[in-house]
Amino acid sequence: MLKTAHAQVAKLLKFIDASPSPYHAGATIEKQLLAHDFKRLSESDTWQLEKNKRYYVVRDQSSVVAFKTGHQPSSETGYKIIGAHTDSPSLKITPNGARDESGYLRLGVEIYGSPILATFSDRDLSLAGRVSYKDAHEPIKTKLVHFKQPLLRLPNLAIHLNRQVNEQGLKFHKQKELPLLLSCTNEQLPEQRFAQLLAQAANLNTTQILAWELTVYDTQKGEFWGAEREFYSDSQLDNLASCHVALKALFDKKNSRPASTLVCGFFDHEEIGSESYKGANGNFLSTVLARISSSFKPTHDDHQRSLARSLMVSVDMAHAYQPNFPSAYDPNHRVIMNKGVVIKVNANHRYSSESISEAMFIHYCQQAKVPYQRYSHCNDIPCGSTIGPMSAANLGIRTVDVGNPLWAMHSIRESAGVLDHYYMIKALQAFFKG
Ligand code: ZN
């Protein structure tokens, strides 16, 4: 089993390599959907859907909803939905970020979400994102841009200049100490120099580029580690690992002609609260579901019946127990790597699971013969959240929050267990099949 699991994780690591920004993640997901005969729909066109066909919709390049239509009416079967997010905490380059500082060219950054900032230091960083530009034929076009080589760095201070670092921790002043080093200065103005680099990477002229969004990412590739290579590490495991398992479930040959319509929603902006026109707290998923329903000519009442019969599995990563820090965890909820998928429970509904949706997910784990664990957060520390509670609230759909054990969530280098990735694929395939 470990061999099969390694093969699945090797594919995940390639998936992450191809997805250094949420826009690239959207493109990687689209490429896989096209390879599995999914047809792209545009939100601005009329949809004429057929039963047992495959479709997807993209909103602003980084959020995607893909679905296989079932052969039974949704009002009788409900929708089966898996949700995950395409973004990860990071640093983003500010619009006028290029600055000279005592012989160095630095790029100013804004913090996106809540990364562990110290983990960005002393790493081979680079940039990826998208540029909007004009060309001879169209006023505004957009393309992905990916500086593949290491380009930037946040050098740490030597211990001789920061003697208390091991006692007080590695801290960066968010405004003054996070700008990233790009080069030594020369006679060119900093903005011009950066504009030229960007234009080169995008294969455009500097005068064509009107606007851009660039995310900082780590160029180090994913890797297996451990005595049996039973762990793996990479950036953005939260939450590209969950996007990957969702796709594996959707592409499973055993559900090629499903009774229920199967839906996978991949959303940007989770790390900043999901409140945007493409985030999970927006109307993207609800409008796609309403349009699927209306394509098959049911009444408004039928659509509401479909939602009432639906189940959403919100997949995001879970905090694995790290034995060096026992006090950070509830002693009865120590989630262990490679011991199974995690059902996340929170009394204050930071996770959307309740006993019925929890039991439904356990049923699918049992069908798939995969182990599961339960996670409840330590009462001394505020609990994070996921797209689960807000999607459940917006759609009125029963939801369960699940995920795989992860160390160092929001570090630029996170770690997880090889077997758990395989287990989650199996559990979600059982959900889509059952
Ligand atoms: Zn997440």
Please give the share of the chain, as a percent, with pLDDT higher than 90.
Answer: 88
Using the mean position of ligand 1's atoms as its centre, give its distance from the Cα of residue 239 in Å. Answer: 5
pLDDT, position 187: 87
Taking alpha carbons only, the member of 188, 190, 165, 170 closest to residue 180 is: 190
Same fold, 2-88+235-433 and 90-218: no
Structure confidence at residue 61 as a pLDDT band (50, 70, 90): very high
Using the mean position of ligand 1's atoms as its centre, give its distance from the Cα of residue 295 in Å. Answer: 33
Pick the CATH number of 90-218 from 3.40.50.150, 3.40.50.360, 2.30.250.10, 1.10.357.20: 2.30.250.10
CB 225 within 8 A of CB 417: no
Using the mean position of ligand 1's atoms as its centre, give its distance from the Cα of residue 85 in Å. Answer: 7
The pLDDT tens digits for 16-46 are 999 999 999 999 999 999 999 999 999 999 9
| Both structure tokens of 365 | 């784990």
Using the mean position of ligand 1's atoms as its centre, give its distance from the Cα of residue 242 in Å. Answer: 9
pLDDT at 211 over 80: yes
Element of type H or E holding 217: strand 209-218
Using the mean position of ligand 1's atoms as its centre, give its distance from the Cα of residue 271 in Å. Answer: 7
Using the mean position of ligand 1's atoms as its centre, give its distance from the Cα of residue 384 in Å. Answer: 9
CB 337 within 8 A of CB 420: yes
Using the mean position of ligand 1's atoms as its centre, give its distance from the Cα of residue 316 in Å. Answer: 5
How far apart (Å, rounded) are the C-alpha atoms in residues 363 and 82? 16
- CATH classification of 2-88+235-433 is 3.40.50.720, yes or no? no
The pLDDT tens digits for 237-248 are 999 999 999 999
pLDDT, position 349: 86
pLDDT at 383 over 90: no
Average pLDDT, stretch 147-164? Answer: 96
Write the single-letter amino acid at 27. Answer: A
The pLDDT tens digits for 395-414 are 999 999 999 999 999 999 99
pLDDT at 139 over 90: no
How far apart (Å, rounded) are the C-alpha atoms in residues 376 and 360? 18
Cα 97 from chain centroid (whole Å): 26
CA dihedral 281, 315, 27, 390 (to 10 degrees): 0
Using the mean position of ligand 1's atoms as its centre, give its distance from the Cα of residue 270 in Å. Answer: 7
Using the mean position of ligand 1's atoms as its centre, give its distance from the Cα of residue 318 in Å. Answer: 8
pLDDT at 229 over 80: yes
Using the mean position of ligand 1's atoms as its centre, give its distance from the Cα of residue 24 in Å. Answer: 17
Taking alpha carbons only, the member of 289, 244, 279, 285 closest to residue 424 is: 244
How far apart (Å, rounded) are the C-alpha atoms in residues 384 and 334? 17
Using the mean position of ligand 1's atoms as its centre, give its distance from the Cα of residue 386 in Å. Answer: 6
Structure confidence at residue 385 as a pLDDT band (50, 70, 90): confident
Using the mean position of ligand 1's atoms as its centre, give its distance from the Cα of residue 305 in Å. Answer: 30
pLDDT at 123 over 80: yes
The per-residue pLDDT of the chain, averaged, comes to 95
Taking alpha carbons only, the member of 4, 23, 280 closest to residue 31 is: 23
pLDDT, position 17: 97
Domain residue spans of the chain: 2-88+235-433, 90-218
Using the mean position of ligand 1's atoms as its centre, give its distance from the Cα of residue 209 in Å. Answer: 32
Structure confidence at residue 137 as a pLDDT band (50, 70, 90): confident
Using the mean position of ligand 1's atoms as its centre, give its distance from the Cα of residue 35 in Å. Answer: 26
Structure confidence at residue 359 as a pLDDT band (50, 70, 90): very high
Using the mean position of ligand 1's atoms as its centre, give its distance from the Cα of residue 296 in Å. Answer: 34
The pLDDT tens digits for 247-303 are 999 999 999 999 999 999 999 999 999 999 999 999 999 999 999 999 887 788 899
